[in-house]
Chains A and B, each alone.
Chain A
């Protein structure tokens, strides 16, 4: 009797376990990958500034303050939308916003900045996407938030907007600002 109970209950249990995993799988986004850079120091890199080729942008710029690093490109539509958000943030946030211009055409990128404004403290021009590989970037837009010691603490892949900014990203920045 006991054995018969086992044989009827076991398949049901198995079914429930598998169904639960499949059900949860329906709501997962496979494109939200955890960055392996989280809690690690920003990679070493050296880029020339898009707007001023005498200026360099490297990991030393990321120390001493909480900062944002936005990976964008003029060919990326979502980045264009994000740009308006960054323009507002540059006015309100009082922390440096750095840009990495990812696999872009210099003239196209410059004309996007002159058209929509330049929210960036510095913009590294990563023409061939080499530095982006070091950052583990797999598509623009990607946003990194770094702490005062130049460690990557948060990454977001995909477009942002004002609402998301308030609920998800601002709390991270405030927390990092409060850290020693």
Chain B
């Protein structure tokens, strides 16, 4: 009985994979490096409909449109920077999962380091006091 169960689960898992793979349009490129860039860019860009998903993984219509757009831009030999700048110009910096380092994001980028320094200061203070006593 247990074995049968295991078999069913294994089979079910096996047959699911191709179904998932077909849910998305497959893009083919002339060169594998273009495929790599496509994967990189679509993972780096935010889907603005379902905001915590990137456009590679999102099923939203807009994400599909933006995948198509990035595909066309790569095929037209545009650079990564041109493609991301185009999207940022239209959807704002929010469209990228990597915020730029500029006046309104200094706190965001620097806070972790400041907190780390504060933590180190507290720890060293703690040990200095313990040694003194």
Contacts and interface: CB of A to CB of B under 8 A. Distances in A.
B88 interface: yes
A31 B88 CA distance: 17
Nearest to B90: A136
Interface residues of B, number: 15
Contacts of A136: 90-92
Given A129-B65, A133-B66, A139 B91 contact: no
A33 B48 contact: yes
A35 interface: yes
Contact of B51 (A30, A37, A133): A30
Contact of B90 (A30, A31, A128, A133): A133
B88 A36 contact: yes
Interface in B45-65: 48-49, 51, 61-62, 65
B62 A36 contact: no
Contacts of B65: 128-130, 133
B69 A36 contact: no
Q: Chain B contact residues: over half helix, strand or loop, or mixed?
A: helix
Contacts, number: 38
Interface residues of A, number: 18
B92 A135 contact: no
Contact of A138 (B69, B89, B91, B93): B91
B100 to A, nearest CB: 13
A128 to B, nearest CB: 7
Given A129-B65, A136-B92, 18 more contacts: A30-B51, A31-B51, A33-B91, A33-B92, A34-B92, A36-B91, A36-B93, A37-B90, A43-B90, A130-B65, A133-B65, A133-B90, A135-B90, A136-B90, A136-B91, A138-B49, A138-B91, A139-B62
